[in-house]
Chain A
Amino acid sequence: MEMALNLDAAFSALADPTRRAILARLATGEATVMELAEPFEMTQPAISQHLKVLEGAGLVTHRVDGTRRPRRLAKPALEAMDQWLAMLRKALEMNYDRLDAVLAGMEHPKGRGGRKR
């Protein structure tokens, strides 16, 4: 792996909504600049600029296929994203585990719980 994930650069790269959306798109498979530009209603140079930032952060890489240079998520980015998702899922589960405890501490009206609205 010639390009390691640069965490500082990765976080600042992720601070931009367009770049996050590009990563989301690449999470579904590789795409060329032209394909990436389409849904964002942005010019190809603008997308290229975002891709440069993402490649610099080690989040995105590309291969050469004739005149095409399809972009894809770099492996460190995928691993980082997996960790990130696991963390988020955990945070969410923590919320609901806490809610379970809150509910257990509330008094529930017994026997008339079936009332609808």
Chain B
Amino acid sequence: MSKLTLRTEGDTHIVVTRRFAAPPEAVYRAHTEPELLQKWLLGPEGWTMPVCINEAKPGGKIRYEWRNGKGEGFYITGEYIELAPFSRIVHVERMHLPDPTPDNHVETRFDADGTGTLMTMRMTLPDPQTRAAMLATGMERGMEASYVRLEGMI
């Protein structure tokens, strides 16, 4: 499967792309249905997501909680702004460590690409300092927060 790409854009954006072998409908569902999310949105080995609240409608709540089985954990909360099944999701989220990080505004597109899907996730942080902090931070999880830091710094 094709590789992840990860780049910074302008002063406040981070863009991640990834291709999948399944059609947009399936990839979209895997991003919005809790029982599917709990199978893959886990980050490093050993982490689980015991709580996955995902109300996939405008204004709907998001809350994901992760645990590593050694007493450590953290969670994110967020809200959906816009959903266009099965092509586009717009939401905001923040991480609680436990103090909340500034809001990360995320647009995720699922575009048909042959028989598969090209996913493009574009994150917008409130200011360059927040993005820099995200890029430098090693939040111990797999998703948005960890997409992040990489390519802009290497």
A binds B: yes
Q: Which of A's residues lie within 8 Å of B, judged by CB?
A: 14, 17, 20-21, 23-25, 27, 39-40, 81-82, 84-85, 87-104, 106, 108-109, 113-114, 116-117
Q: Which of B's residues lie within 8 Å of A, judged by CB?
A: 1, 3-4, 6, 18, 20-27, 29-30, 36, 39-45, 84-87, 101, 112, 115, 128-129, 132-133, 135-138, 140-143, 146-147, 149-150, 153-154
> Quick check: B136 and A27 within 8 Å, CB to CB?
yes
> Quick check: B153 and A85 within 8 Å, CB to CB?
yes
Instruction: Return the chain B residue nearest A41 by Cβ.
Output: B129
> Quick check: B143 and A24 within 8 Å, CB to CB?
no
Contact sample, A vs B, 27 pairs, CB 8 Å cutoff: A14-B138, A20-B133, A20-B136, A20-B137, A21-B132, A24-B136, A39-B129, A85-B149, A85-B150, A88-B149, A89-B6, A92-B147, A93-B4, A94-B42, A94-B45, A94-B142, A96-B4, A96-B20, A98-B40, A99-B30, A99-B40, A100-B21, A103-B21, A103-B22, A106-B30, A109-B23, A117-B84
Complex contacts, B154 vs chain A, CB 8 Å:
82, 85
Task: Report A117 CB to chain B, min CB distance, Å.
Answer: 5
Complex contacts, A88 vs chain B, CB 8 Å:
138, 146, 149-150
Bound complex: CA of A30 vs CA of B70, how far in Å? 38
> Quick check: A108 and B26 within 8 Å, CB to CB?
yes
Residue from B18, B23, B84 with most neighbouring chain A CB atoms (10 Å) = B23
Task: Report A108 CB to chain B, min CB distance, Å.
Answer: 6
Which residue of A84, A95, A108 contacts B43 across the interface (Cβ within 8 Å)?
A: A95
> Quick check: A39 and B128 within 8 Å, CB to CB?
yes
Bound complex: CA of A113 vs CA of B111, how far in Å? 12
Task: Report B5 CB to chain A, min CB distance, Å.
Answer: 11
Complex contacts, B149 vs chain A, CB 8 Å:
85, 88
> Quick check: B43 and A98 within 8 Å, CB to CB?
no
Q: In the complex where A95-B43, A98-B40, A106-B30 touch, is A24 in contact with B132 (Cβ < 8 A)? A: yes
Instruction: Return the chain B residue nearest A107 by Cβ.
Output: B26
Complex contacts, A17 vs chain B, CB 8 Å:
101, 133, 137
> Quick check: B150 and A102 within 8 Å, CB to CB?
no
> Quick check: A106 and B26 within 8 Å, CB to CB?
yes
> Quick check: B26 and A103 within 8 Å, CB to CB?
yes
